A and B are shown apart, each in its own frame.
Chain A
């Protein structure tokens, strides 16, 4: 039996078309960058492939795992679901912008202390998501933290330690 599969036949006529480039200004980790970006480039691929900010991870490319979570103007977003050219003028914070070796963000320090990761691949996304959760200001209890962190999958199963780390930072902020 013979079969033909053409997954994208309706787009065949676009094959030879040149790809436009669009001037876009992004402020990434406090540094303003004038970029020329193809419109089909996601924020995730821009960060990883073009800017070598590999701390933001690709775990599914479908907005289903949370590994690529970054902060856009303080709000947590899956970078794989955003086309970079749509973010002109936005401020983007990635894990590299939250803290560095010798100058760790409290969440980064708490993640180490509570062993809130194993393989480390979902970790930058978990930490950025936790910062987003703190910015939202809606989580107070462990139950709320667990519920509101549920967009970030950790296959190593560090969930209870992640909740401990996030709660510790939340509580220390409330005390301060």
Chain B
């Protein structure tokens, strides 16, 4: 008897939520039908800084259908103390509290909500609210804000921030280096611009409890906030985010529409929905602007002898958002003299926030442009130069990696791309009117793991349900949960249901940092293993006691609905037969996966990272300097791949956003008005179908039992890191023009 075929980890299963998404039945936050619900439309400030003097609501209240207007003048009580405004991200400072008082801290700040029987009445009335302001001088210009840059003291830093660690004497080594490169690099503000606009539907049940359908990357972080800041109490609040129309970091923190909708519901004791407009989506989270001075020194043979980086990123005046910018370059290459510094610069905007690969997408990308410049100075092939300076350890923390298959990624990517056929000289490849350039860059991100709980429930009809308060923001969490459960218990995916996106489910963190698959997957595996143990016990009652000598589930294989004695496939028991023998109608388990379980190596001893090598072909119109990205090959080393199909999609998405970072995305400040001026999809350009041609994704074999229990490293972020560098490097190779400020728009190319 052969062991039945397994459908589990490693199979390209189509998304289990696919049918719901393609038929339009998947419900997002603004799509739950709630009885007697009112519509709230938010009025936002027209100034960047100052105070509200008067709010004249007379005309707005006269619109038929308008029920009420809520602002700082009449809002329900909310918590005074900052600590009550809970938020898993814990950004140091004073969190923004909508309608707190008459102060205006940034442009398009929510100041009132018009609540009406219809969306249309609320929308019209919101335009009629007369606001008189007292303005104060503001600054949203990054350059100007640098005069006020500072480094928050210990105790006032983000807990995710890693200070750079210097080694050797970098200043001296740089000064004495025969090959030197020094330049300043810049990244513009970007907005996450997930397709689903932030929305909160508050279902007021009338008995002191509420259910809130919220656009957020973690239901429990919104629940904590609402329960604590608005005094509703833990047990009275349930938050659901079963489907999330994109996040990219923009929905990691509960956003202001949740404050507004909750206050309106409390004030009116009724159900209320508040949806941001697309323009209002620009009023909150965004990737910080960054300036990064990089100095590199190399010996005559091209070996790096000095790496120096000084970076500043933007934040608001009320919170200190921090990123790791300079550390990536110090970690990635073998170099004994490294030095870094970092600061943040406050301005009168909302606080900058995490956006896909926060820190690395900025710092590693800009660093990989500088490395390219040094490679040309050394007269070396840019890929060979990187391999010459390859580091087998984390060069800054001086720790070995649990695994690092970047060398293999470089080789496999180069092979697929045809790098060997590259003509080394810039401006030496051409076809028709277009100059052709080939660029390379390497990427680095973290393999994170977060404490996560999950439950599993096997019923006597053979159906298994696994559940966790995790989120699926498009990453494929539903599918990963099903696959891990299928793999652990040897069941078919069709007989498994995954539940997530509900604060009532077992505790899980917000979805971000690429930790979802590794952490939720491990929790589901643990819960299913507990089910397996209970099944083994129940199998003791099966006639003939085929497992009389089996003491652990490690001696069994689970496949095709059976548990099978390893090495003796004739000894098997059907899972449901075991349940019957044990007199069980249902088996339930709940487990928590914490860092350190299952052979995981602690952060203290080894570095845990994902790596990538990105190859880009750019074609640039010789006269117009218009750029097309015609070919991308990205080779990723990210441990074990649970689902090659959805994994590939994650990387494709990262590459597309990286192309956006390279060529399109830039939120521009109007310094006089103090607001982002291109606050629409019409003017904030993201890649469209026509911009994206051929992208090939390779996953390099990288077994790593130490990194996380499943050997999974996570894929949400590595796909974007350094893509923009490979684009810039390809444009340089095509044209001989080096642009150091992202995005590389046509005007910048024409100016070189």
Find out whether the CB atom of A55 lies under 8 angstroms from the CB atom of B681: no
- Contacts A52-B33, A149-B689 known; A117 to B21 CB distance under 8 Å? yes
- Contacts A58-B197, A118-B475, A118-B653 known; A153 to B681 CB distance under 8 Å? yes
In this assembly, does A123 line the interface, its C-beta being within 8 Å of a C-beta of chain B? yes
Find out whether the CB atom of A121 lies under 8 angstroms from the CB atom of B656: no
Residues in B neighbouring A59, C-beta threshold 8 A = 195-197, 278, 681
Find the A residue at minimum CB distance from B33: A52
Docked CA distance A146–B21 (Å)? 22
Find out whether the CB atom of A3 lies under 8 angstroms from the CB atom of B474: no
In this assembly, does B752 line the interface, its C-beta being within 8 Å of a C-beta of chain A? no
Docked CA distance A156–B687 (Å)? 10
In this assembly, does A155 line the interface, its C-beta being within 8 Å of a C-beta of chain B? yes
Docked CA distance A19–B131 (Å)? 25
In this assembly, does A2 line the interface, its C-beta being within 8 Å of a C-beta of chain B? yes
Which of A17, A49, A124 contacts B24, CB < 8 Å?
A124
Find out whether the CB atom of B120 lies under 8 angstroms from the CB atom of A40: yes
Find the A residue at minimum CB distance from B632: A160
- Contacts A15-B62, A62-B278, A160-B652 known; A155 to B686 CB distance under 8 Å? yes
In this assembly, does B741 line the interface, its C-beta being within 8 Å of a C-beta of chain A? no
Residues in A neighbouring B309, C-beta threshold 8 A = none
Residues in B neighbouring A45, C-beta threshold 8 A = 119-120
Docked CA distance A109–B134 (Å)? 57
Docked CA distance A19–B23 (Å)? 34
In this assembly, does A115 line the interface, its C-beta being within 8 Å of a C-beta of chain B? yes
Interface-located stretch among B290-298, B382-390, B433-441, B642-650: B642-650
Residues in B neighbouring A163, C-beta threshold 8 A = 689
Find out whether the CB atom of B14 lies under 8 angstroms from the CB atom of A57: no
Please give the distance in Å from A88's CB to the nearest CB on chain B: 19
Find out whether the CB atom of B19 lies under 8 angstroms from the CB atom of A121: no
Find out whether the CB atom of A146 lies under 8 angstroms from the CB atom of B245: no
Which of B47, B686, B689, B695 contacts A3, CB < 8 Å?
B47
Residues in B neighbouring A95, C-beta threshold 8 A = 22-24
Find out whether the CB atom of B195 lies under 8 angstroms from the CB atom of A152: no
Please give the distance in Å from A129's CB to the nearest CB on chain B: 10
Residues in B neighbouring A124, C-beta threshold 8 A = 22, 24
Find out whether the CB atom of A112 lies under 8 angstroms from the CB atom of B24: no
In this assembly, does B277 line the interface, its C-beta being within 8 Å of a C-beta of chain A? yes
- Contacts A52-B33, A60-B278, A100-B23 known; A119 to B195 CB distance under 8 Å? yes
**Best-surrounded residue of B15, B30, B60, B246 (most CB of chain A within 10 A):** B246
Find the A residue at minimum CB distance from B131: A5
Find out whether the CB atom of B197 lies under 8 angstroms from the CB atom of A104: no
Find out whether the CB atom of A96 lies under 8 angstroms from the CB atom of B23: yes
Docked CA distance A36–B695 (Å)? 49
Please give the distance in Å from B509's CB to the nearest CB on chain A: 19
In this assembly, does A41 line the interface, its C-beta being within 8 Å of a C-beta of chain B? yes
Docked CA distance A158–B59 (Å)? 46
Docked CA distance A53–B31 (Å)? 9
Find the B residue at minimum CB distance from A94: B24
Which of B59, B131, B246 contacts A121, CB < 8 Å?
B246
Please give the distance in Å from B128's CB to the nearest CB on chain A: 6
Docked CA distance A27–B399 (Å)? 66
Which of A4, A157, A160, A161 contacts B694, CB < 8 Å?
A160
**Best-surrounded residue of A120, A124, A145 (most CB of chain B within 10 A):** A120
In this assembly, does B603 line the interface, its C-beta being within 8 Å of a C-beta of chain A? no
Within 8 A of A (CB), among B239-291: 243-248, 275, 277-278
Find out whether the CB atom of B46 lies under 8 angstroms from the CB atom of A15: no
Docked CA distance A59–B695 (Å)? 26
**Best-surrounded residue of B24, B60, B63 (most CB of chain A within 10 A):** B24
Please give the distance in Å from A110's CB to the nearest CB on chain B: 9
Docked CA distance A60–B247 (Å)? 16
Residues in A neighbouring B474, C-beta threshold 8 A = 117-120, 156
In this assembly, does A6 line the interface, its C-beta being within 8 Å of a C-beta of chain B? yes
- Contacts A115-B14, A150-B688 known; A120 to B21 CB distance under 8 Å? yes
Find out whether the CB atom of A15 lies under 8 angstroms from the CB atom of B197: no
Docked CA distance A159–B499 (Å)? 28
In this assembly, does B415 line the interface, its C-beta being within 8 Å of a C-beta of chain A? no
Residues in B neighbouring A57, C-beta threshold 8 A = 28, 195-196, 245
Find out whether the CB atom of B22 lies under 8 angstroms from the CB atom of A123: yes
Docked CA distance A57–B476 (Å)? 20
In this assembly, does A30 line the interface, its C-beta being within 8 Å of a C-beta of chain B? no
Docked CA distance A96–B26 (Å)? 11
Residues in B neighbouring A56, C-beta threshold 8 A = 24
Within 8 A of B (CB), among A72-125: 94-96, 99-101, 104, 108-109, 111-113, 115, 117-124
Find out whether the CB atom of B23 lies under 8 angstroms from the CB atom of A108: yes
Which of B26, B60, B119, B127 contacts A120, CB < 8 Å?
B26
Find the B residue at minimum CB distance from A8: B127
In this assembly, does B639 line the interface, its C-beta being within 8 Å of a C-beta of chain A? no
In this assembly, does A31 line the interface, its C-beta being within 8 Å of a C-beta of chain B? no
Find out whether the CB atom of B25 lies under 8 angstroms from the CB atom of A58: no
Query: Chain B, 655-691, contact with A by CB distance < 8 Å: what is the 0/1 string?
Result: 1110000000000000000000000111000111110
Find out whether the CB atom of A61 lies under 8 angstroms from the CB atom of B277: yes
Which of A16, A115, A118, A162 contacts B63, CB < 8 Å?
A16
- Contacts A12-B59, A127-B22 known; A157 to B14 CB distance under 8 Å? no
Docked CA distance A169–B14 (Å)? 18
Find the A residue at minimum CB distance from B685: A153
Docked CA distance A111–B681 (Å)? 24
In this assembly, does B125 line the interface, its C-beta being within 8 Å of a C-beta of chain A? yes
Residues in A neighbouring B655, C-beta threshold 8 A = 157
Which of B20, B28, B65, B657 contacts A157, CB < 8 Å?
B657
Which of A55, A62, A112, A146 contacts B689, CB < 8 Å?
A146
Find out whether the CB atom of A65 lies under 8 angstroms from the CB atom of B195: yes
Docked CA distance A122–B681 (Å)? 14
Find out whether the CB atom of A159 lies under 8 angstroms from the CB atom of B119: no
Query: Chain B, 11-54, contact with A by CB distance < 8 Å: what is the 0/1 string?
Result: 00011011111111111101101000001000000110000010
| CB<8 Å pairs between A and B, sample of 26 | A5-B130, A17-B64, A38-B118, A58-B275, A60-B681, A61-B278, A96-B23, A96-B24, A99-B22, A101-B19, A104-B19, A104-B23, A111-B18, A112-B14, A112-B22, A115-B646, A117-B474, A118-B246, A120-B21, A121-B246, A145-B689, A146-B692, A150-B688, A152-B689, A155-B686, A157-B656
Show the binding face of B for A, using Cβ within 8 Å: 14-15, 17-28, 30-31, 33, 39, 46-47, 53, 59-60, 62-65, 118-121, 124-125, 127-128, 130-135, 193-197, 243-248, 275, 277-278, 473-476, 645-646, 648-650, 652-657, 680-682, 686-690, 692-695
**Additional 11 contacts, C-beta under 8 A, given A11-B127, A59-B196, A160-B692:** A2-B132, A3-B134, A3-B135, A15-B128, A57-B245, A64-B680, A65-B278, A117-B18, A146-B690, A155-B246, A162-B689
